[in-house]
Structure 1
Amino acid sequence: MRYYRSDGGGSVSLIAADDSAAYDLSETEAEPTSFLELASAASLTDRTVDDVARGLIGEAPTIELESVEDDLVRPIDPDEVWAAGVTYSISQEARQEEGGLAESYLEAYEGDRPEVYFKATPSRTVGPNDRVGIRGDSEWDAPEPEMTIVLYDEEIVGFTVGNDMCSRSIERENLLYLPQSKIYAKNCAIGPCIATGETVGDPLDLEMHMSIERDGETVFEEETSTAELVRSCEELVDYYTRYNEVPEASVLLTGTSIMVPDDVSLEEDDVISIEIEDIGVLTNTVEQL
């Protein structure tokens, strides 16, 4: 199933959708308002999140997803957001001309240990239809579309779409500036929903598409597949959790699958759309910070 959160009318609703209908689980006796409540119940009863949801669907009213599209909020409020880097060949190849940085990226791509870094707190993370930020001291800014793992108690419980916003000019200037290029206000977006493994199937076999629109015109568009990911989800989670105090709820972005060229940089009011097969479309507008 896919799980959405809607904040229409000032109250948050948790919506579960399958191929036949969408159900407002918040209108059941249990009144769950977050995916984490389902994940917690599943963990305590040794069931899957979908099993818990199916136990509620019988008493849940059906709704039209289209009626709440404008009210969707982050499908999860993660305690922390982390990310993996240089996990696609396109990411490594795009940095071959970056002087002294190229060797470091190649080593991360080919090495046994993946690049895993802290990305955001909840206050820096936005949801569908919210604005993502670009820094005022950066000259080249890019969205980075990423299939994103949702974790509960260090276990994979679902997948969502992520946008790992990056100030490329700052990153390119010096590798030690990477945290500044990655961590700032409104630096990450996730959504529009969480899709469970039952719905996604093989997470390394999903088509992906990203577009950037400016004043109604498409300035960039490209597609790829998570089949190009060179590391498994389990491997990335293993390194993320290794010797780390991992919070109860977190998300892990799995790496940049599409790289915009040097002559494309985000501007105020650009619209970024990232679609991942079997999960959904994450759309955000750009804000100049």
Structure 2
Amino acid sequence: MKFDLNALPTDTARATLAGRLMLADGPVPVLVRDGVVYDVSRVAPTSADWFDLPDPAALTGERLCDVAELTIGGGTFELLAPIDLQCVKACGVTFAVSALERVIEERARGDADQAAAIRGDLEGKIGGGIRSVVPGSEEAAKLKAALIEAGMWSQYLEVAIGPDAEVFTKAPVLSSLGWGADLGFRSDSTWNNPEPEVVLVVNAAGKVVGATLGNDVNLRDFEGRSALLLGKAKDNNAACAIGPFVRLFDDGFGIDDVRNAELDLVIDGPEGYRLEGHSSMNQISRDPLDLVRQTLSEHQYPDGFVLFLGTLFAPVQDRDEPGRGFTHKVGDTVRIHSPALGTLTNRMTTSKQAAPWTFGIRHLYRTMAARDAAVRI
């Protein structure tokens, strides 16, 4: 399948984009500028090396092809997720709406049939409160005390308005998929949804060097039954998408553009179902750089990391039976769009049916060693 040029940022002529391609001798990091793809592996053999450079946006390379020649699912220039050795981290409950939905999942014990009735009750009782306070502030502490007294407290409200953000590991290194790949949800899940998010790219020094789009596929039934099932709800085969490219920070794009990003979500189902949603980053309850700081506070990432910033989107539109809300079906097409970052498109299947993850860290280094040996000869 050919890469869709409409997936590029709307101002692509001004953008400095970082990606990865699978070539005949293995994956390479590539620069995309003005519609041309350049191999930068001679200078930066991995994207982690690239993002550690003093000015990643200034890197140049050897011309490979035009963007129009990129493919997915095979071909000479196959597009991959734009990261390699970075840890994949994610933040949850960073928007008031997502906080309410997590509490709903918890109170419904992961049962979608119970969600609608609980939703209306909770919105009226605590929705305004969590929207009006700064997490970790004195006002947030007072709200917490009032909610505890009223028997309304939840572990999800703790990370929504308390001093500590929720930060978890989403996926293993090299397991993320890129634009056009089939994503998976667990075959035994009956209540799940996409989570369209902005993803920050952070280098080994803790510096944010760019941003991209991500789909943090979530299982509402698993996490709703118990927060201890978060690993099963989040980390499954083919359950993490990132791309299509990382937009590197430069004179025309920076952290303020992330803070003000607008995201649109469209889901088209095989039966003709359509769902549309919108998310505004200016409604996030914690600043993106504070989330980076909390991720780094007691940990180091020598190969850098990427950080999903959370989502405002929580689908409640009924798909089949009234009151059951939304859940994925095999064959759904999910499009996440933000003008400055482009469009991330994936089709949904189950984690069992999705292509198995086979290319790991050892495989990457074997291909790099073979390529290096060939160059020396």
TM-score normalised by the chain length of structure 2: 0.67
Q: 1:255 to 1:30 in 2, by over 3 A?
A: same
SS at match of 1:169: helix
Matched, 1:169 2:184: no
Q: Which amino acid aligns with 2:253?
A: V
Partner of 1:66: 68
The alignment partner of 2:289 has SS state of: helix
1:287 to 349, 373, 376: 349
Larger Cα Rg: Structure 1 or Structure 2?
2
SS in 2 for 1:95: helix
Residue 61 of structure 1 and its aligned partner are, at CA, apart by 3.8
1:166-204 CA distance string (max 9 Å, x none):
111111112222222112222211111001222433111
Whether 1:259 aligns to 2:259 is no
SS of residue matched to 2:306: strand
Q: Tell me the CA shift for residue 62 of structure 1.
A: 8.0
Kindly provide the amino acid, as one letter, of the partner of residue 182 in structure 1.
K
* Gapped regions of structure 1 (runs ≥ 5): none
Q: Give the structure with the larger strand fraction.
A: 1
How big is each residue's C-alpha offset from its partner over 1:249-274, in whole Å with a ceiling of 9 and x where there is no partner?
32111112211125211111211111
Contact 1:150 1:156 in 2 (8 A): yes
One-letter code of the match for 1:200? Answer: F
Q: Specify the alignment match of 2:211 in structure 1.
A: 159
Aligned residues: 276
C-alpha distance in 1 between matches for 2:226 and 2:41: 55
User: For each residue in 1:99-149, what CA deviation from the matched residue of structure 2 results, as whole angstroms up to 9, or x when unmatched?
Assistant: 558622222111111111111102532122112111122111111111101
1:115 aligns with 2:166: yes
Which residue in the other structure is 2:230 paired with?
A: 178
Contact 1:128–1:189 (Cα < 8 Å) also in 2: yes
- Given that residues 92 and 109 in structure 1 are in contact (C-alpha distance below 8 angstroms), is that contact kept between their aligned partners in structure 2? yes
- Using the size of structure 1 for normalisation, the TM-score is 0.86
Give the match for residue 176 of structure 2.
125
Hey, what's the Cα distance between the residues in 2 that align with 1:235 and 1:29?
Answer: 32
> Is 1:48 the equivalent of 2:55?
yes
Q: Aligned runs of 1:23-102 on 2, under 5 Å?
A: 23-26=36-39, 30=42, 32=44, 34-40=46-52, 42=53, 47-51=54-58, 53=59, 56=60, 60-61=62-63, 63-70=65-72, 71-98=78-105, 100=107
Cα distance in 2 between the residues matched to 1:35 and 1:246: 14
Shift in alpha-carbon separation, 1:99–1:65, aligned structure 2, 3 A: closer
Change (3 A) 1:99 1:134: closer
Distance 1:108 1:258 in 2: 18
Q: CA deviation at 1:3?
A: 1.5
Unaligned runs of 5+ in 2: 1-15, 73-77, 110-152, 317-323, 353-377
Letter matched to residue 261 of structure 2: L
Distance between the aligned counterparts of 2:329 and 2:97, measured in 1?
23
| CA distance in 1: counterparts of 2:295 and 2:239, whole angstroms | 20
- Structure 1: how far apart are the matches of 2:221 and 2:279? 24
Q: Secondary structure, in 3 states, of the residue corresponding to 1:137?
A: coil
Contact 1:211 1:218 in 2 (8 A): no
Cα contact 1:149–1:254 (8 A) shared by 2: yes
2:212 alignment partner AA: T
Name the residue aligned to 1:138: 189
Q: Is the 8 A contact 1:90 1:257 kept in 2?
A: yes
Counterpart of 1:67 in structure 2: which amino acid? E
